[in-house]
Structure formats: structure tokens, C-alpha cells
Amino acid sequence: MAQRISPCLWFDSQAEEAAGLYCSLFRNSRILRIARYGEAGHEIHGRPPGSVMTVSFELDGQAFTALNGGPLFRFNEAISLQVHCDTQEELDRYWDGLAADGDPAAQQCGWLKDKFGVSWQIVPSALPDLLADPRKAERVMTALLGMKRLDIAALQRAYEGG
């Protein structure tokens, strides 16, 4: 069965560039197809015939669509994409790749905004476990709130009381 629900990301005109960047960062990722605007609906969409309309792609097997819909809508932090990382090396790779040319003011507690305005949460896979015990969770949250890019070892030390 095909994936029933998949996100559609609205870009002004950077859908192909964004999909290319995302596919370059995530393993098991690929661009599936690119659809282009034609003459039909030109009075509505205003896009030149032949320009990219949508890019269907997969990130680690998860289906996405990127749409070049114009400047009408912008991304905001109300929706973010979470990336769960098992190691600091993996976390750093995703952080560096997605934060490049992004908004440094929008970086806090593992959240970042990429150069297209998409919000991401780059988090350790172990974070739910580190937050499960309320007494230890206080220490973990105190440490986490002081970070931009999350440091797995520092969060683990906070959990352990160090």
C-alpha cells in the first residue's frame, strides 16, 4: 500500500533546489518525478510554461511533495520536521546541512530554520527516554534550553546528574 498521508511543502520557486538539498542529506532518498507548468491555468498561477510545478521526492522512504506555488504563503514554526538521530555525528551532519545559509536567530533547543524557511527539529533518538523520569527530566530540560544544536553527551550527563 502506498503511503496514505504525505506532506506537501509550498515554496515560492525553490521546490527543486530544496528537494535536491534534502535528498543530498538523507540516506535512502531520491527525487521521484518533476511536473512542470503548462499553458493551462496560466491566468491563475502565472508561472512560465515549462517551469517546475511540483517535485515528488522521498526522504529516507518518507514521501513528500514540493510545490512552487508563489510567494503567497510562507513557512513558519507551527509545523516542523523532526529528525531523530542516534549519534552526535549524525545529528551534526543534519544540523550542518540544514542550518547552512538558514536563519541563525531561529536556532534553539535543537530547532533550526533552513534557507527556504522550513523548520526542523534535529533531536537525539534517546530524548524521549531522557525526559521520561520527571526528576531527571528537569535537569535534562535545563541543559537542553541552553543549547542551540543539541549535545547528546551533555544531555546524558544532565540525566545522570552530572
Per-residue pLDDT tens over the stretch 43-78: 888 899 999 999 999 999 999 999 999 999 999 999
Residues 87, 56 share a domain: no
pLDDT at 12: 96
Q: What is the CA radius of gyration of the chain?
A: 19
Flag whether 2 is in a domain.
Answer: no
Among 42, 68, 94, the domain boundary falls at: 68
The four Cα atoms 132, 156, 60, 6 give a dihedral, to 10 degrees, of 30
DSSP character string of 81-121: EEEEESSHHHHHHHHHHHHTTS-GGG-BTTEEE-TTS-EEE
Domain total of the chain? 2
Do residue 109 and residue 148 come from a single domain?
yes
Do 122 and 51 fall into the same domain?
no
Q: Is 3 a domain residue?
A: no
Does one domain contain both 91 and 135? yes
pLDDT value at residue 117: 97
What was the pLDDT predicted at 162? 75
Domain boundary among 68, 94, 116: 68
Residues 98-123 pLDDT 10s: 999 999 999 999 999 999 999 999 99
Distance from C-alpha of 152 to C-alpha of 125, rounded to nearest angstrom: 10
In the prediction, which pLDDT does 1 show? 54
**Would 1 be classed as within a structural domain?**
no
CATH label of the domain that carries residue 95: 3.10.180.10
pTM of the model: 0.93
User: pLDDT value at position 44?
Assistant: 85
> How much of the chain, in percent, has pLDDT values that exceed 70?
99
**Together in a domain, 62 and 86:** no
Best CA proximity match to 66, nearest among 122, 139, 17: 17
Of 21, 44, 68, which residue is a domain's last? 68
Question: Quick one: average pLDDT of 121-134?
Answer: 97
| CA 162 vs CA 79, 136, 157, 159: distances in Å | 34, 11, 5, 7
**Range of the structural domain that residue 20 is part of:** 8-68
- 86 and 150 in a common domain: yes
List residues bridging with 52 in a β-sheet.
36
d(CA 21, CA 147): 25
Judgement on whether residues 97 and 156 belong to the same structural domain of the protein: yes
Q: Of 141, 127, 124, 116, which is closest to residue 64 (Cα–Cα)?
A: 116
